[in-house]
A and B are shown apart, each in its own frame.
Chain A
Amino acid sequence: MSERVAIAGVAQTVFKPKRVDANYAELAYEAIEQVLDQCGLTIQDDIDNSITCSHDIWDGQTISNIGITDVAGGHLRNEEKMAMDGSTAVYYGAVGILSGAFECTLLLAHTKMSQTDRNIVNNDAFDPIYTRKLGLDYTSAAALQARRYMHRYGISPEQTAGVVVKNLGNAVDNPVAHNRGVFSVEDVLSSAVVADPIRRMDMAPDTDGAVAMILAGEDKARGITDTPVWITGIGTCYDAYYLGDRDLSECMALGRAAQRAYSMAGITNPRDQIDVIELGEEFSYQELLWLEGLGVCEPGGAAALLESGFTRRDGALPVNPSGGLLGGVPANVMGLNRVAEAALQVMGRADGHQVGGVKTALAQGHSGFCGQHHCVIVLQGGKEGR
């Protein structure tokens, strides 16, 4: 029985726009094999729970965890599928270990976005009675949120483009990212308009890949690694469903999820107490809006923070030093990748994009359109993980 839960290992496939050579089970196994090797664990002797994260509609198979039961070690064992963003798999995995039911849990998220059409998939997240026939999808919904947010706080397209410039620049140094480069604000603003004000470069690209992670109770974790990353705060929260139910420039659910995580982790001033943030910006504006929801700054204040260099990799509070989702991370995998990148920062293993002196990191993920459900995870290393 553990009072503390640690991330003991992390492995990610290289993310690519398309993996024609592998089906999703093979893709998932690449990450699983790596993380088990890295930690010196076997399914039979060490893993007592597997949580997978994907969606039937993305996978093109009903009850699609059938397709990864084998590689995830689910045969005659405990396996559950979190049909949400991968960040929530970390949340649920931590709950399982804290309950005393499990000691060592394998987390897995995979998606092959290349095998279908994201807009058709995401259209099915709109309720069939009042909104689906309008043809909405996550991009058009995000565009409505982006304009509302930008209008309310006077955020300019140049400012949201600044997020893209920063993150694609950061992604250059991330070995698993595929969407990267040194760009200017003008480059972003001259990319094609997809759903005004969102341009091609403002969006996370279609990506195939998988992430695997080992969560363990304290004793087990210490046996696996010298650099356990303690999960010291977790929180989730649902928001209202319909786009018109809420002011899209606000994020109540993120605020509450963060508050729960902060109170567990003893964080009263996130801006000072957190050393690095990896958050889920499927669209560039979301990095700004989510920072406000996380309480890093006042509502409407994130753009100024970005412009001041505060969130650069060498800034006071680096945000998405990995390149974030804009660097190319598959749907559903997004949140597990956010937690993985935050954990790598705490471990000091973020090859090429390591930030100095990370003791406390925050990861955020969201499910649904425009942030209907948020999940916040606070990670701490060494002595801080108390």
Chain B
Amino acid sequence: MKRNVAVIGGGQTRHAARRHDVNQVELVNEAVRAALLDARMTIDEIDTVLLGNMEFFEGCHMTDCWLADGLGAYGKPGLKITTGGTVGATIVSAGAHHVASGLFDTVLCVGFEKQEEGDTGAILSGVAHPLYGRSMAGAAVGYFAMMATSYMAAWGAREEHSAMVAVKARQNARKNEYAHLKLDITVQDALNSRMLAYPIRMLDMCPASNGACAVILADEKTAGDRCEKPVWIRAMDTAHNEQFELDWRDVTTRKPIFSKTSAARLYRQLGVSNPLDYFDVFEIYEPATWAEMVWYEDLGMCGPGEGFRMIEEGKTAMDGPHPVNPSGGVLSTNCIGASAMLRIWEAALQIRGDAGGHQVPGDVRRALATAYGGTNWTVLTALSRDLDD
């Protein structure tokens, strides 16, 4: 890109299953004000505003127009993009392009979902093709359950491994003041939770959350002038995947997969040979426990079939050598349109050393954030503390 782009501020709402105290405009505004406060900016200093959310999840059309007051978009240039669960990262990518283009110096990126307002079941079943599979749709849980049976059959992992991921996420979330599910649970609690779709239990899945995230991006000069701890966007890569062919659930597939394809391209951009050496912390988009273990493998953090060993050995714990989702991740907070942006913002907080209770112990120079959505789509974002690193 033509200009370097920094995250110079960000903020998030308190995420919860119920936010009856705010309407959608006010929810978004809570994150926007937090981001402006963090960046010590006023809305007048923002050049353009970009919004991402899951269009139709709230049963609303043209949400960006309605939310203009809360976004601070009145009289400003801006736009709205929707790409599914990846959209929060897509908006940051769009924001980075806006800054790099030289047309804008400061960009406010916002993602949100107020899941309690829409009819999530009805809208999720609408993801299936209307004439092929909508009547049979097994929902997201069915999809990840098939990934789980495939994973267990292929690599010999057990339900306990899933439970370990479930526990790690919620215990980490307890240290994150904004997280939704802060649960003091044990592996046994996870294994005893209600079965949804074998072998996926209640605690193996992400919740439905209400929340928003906002991130402010700027060019190098602006970042240098007014930000003490800019975090640099070093590389981003997007991969969508064809309709109907959802091969991620077949963990032994030899077809090129979105996650590995995208990681390979991103690593090539950065010259990464070993992601475990290169990145100090990972914030990944795991709608279900099993997806986290598959992400480890697809990102090259371990070999095929070794993901469950990483969780078993505590390698990805907050105080482990390669912390993954110290924030609690999507398993603890899933306000869909914000979830992928939260991964990037949490990764930036780790680099700044500002993650508070869930700051990882070691030095964090570089971080990787992933997104997930649509029919196996991702956006990967690599962040660093130093531009010349």
Contact = CB atoms under 8 A, between A and B. Distances in A.
A100 B129 contact: no
Contacts of B90: 80
A367 B242 contact: no
Contacts of B82: 56, 63, 65, 81, 83
A61 B129 contact: yes
Nearest to B262: A76
Contact of B374 (A66, A70, A122): A66
A237 B239 CA distance: 30
A256 interface: yes
Contacts of B61: 55, 57, 121-122, 124-125
A237 B76 contact: yes
Contact of B126 (A62, A65, A83, A124): A62
A260 B75 contact: no
Contacts of B96: 99, 101
Contacts of B84: 63, 65-66
Residue of A57, A122, A241 with most chain B CB atoms under a 10 A cut-off: A241
A235 B256 CA distance: 39
What is the interface residue range for chain B against chain A? Answer: 35 or more
A81 B81 contact: yes
Given A61-B127, A78-B238, A238 B261 contact: no
Contacts of B77: 235-238, 257, 260
B243 interface: yes
A188 B33 CA distance: 50
B54 interface: yes
Interface string A256-272: 11001000000000000
Interface residues of A, number: 58
Interface string A69-102: 1100011111111111000100110011011110
Nearest to B70: A241
A311 to B, nearest CB: 27
Given A100-B100, A236-B78, 20 more contacts: A55-B55, A61-B126, A61-B130, A62-B57, A66-B84, A77-B240, A78-B239, A80-B83, A80-B238, A83-B55, A95-B101, A96-B101, A99-B96, A99-B100, A101-B97, A234-B103, A238-B74, A240-B74, A241-B68, A373-B79
20 contacts: A62-B127, A63-B373, A63-B375, A66-B84, A69-B375, A74-B242, A76-B262, A77-B240, A79-B83, A80-B90, A84-B62, A92-B94, A99-B1, A99-B99, A99-B101, A122-B61, A124-B60, A238-B73, A238-B74, A238-B76
By Cβ-Cβ distance, the 3 closest A-B pairs, closest first, are: A99-B100, A98-B101, A62-B126
Interface of A: 1, 55-57, 60-63, 65-67, 69-70, 74-84, 88, 91-92, 95-96, 98-101, 121-122, 124-125, 127-129, 234-241, 252-253, 256-257, 260, 367-369, 372-373
Interface of B: 1-3, 23, 49, 54-57, 59-62, 64-69, 73-84, 90, 94, 96-103, 117, 123-124, 126-127, 129-130, 238-243, 256, 258, 261-262, 373-375
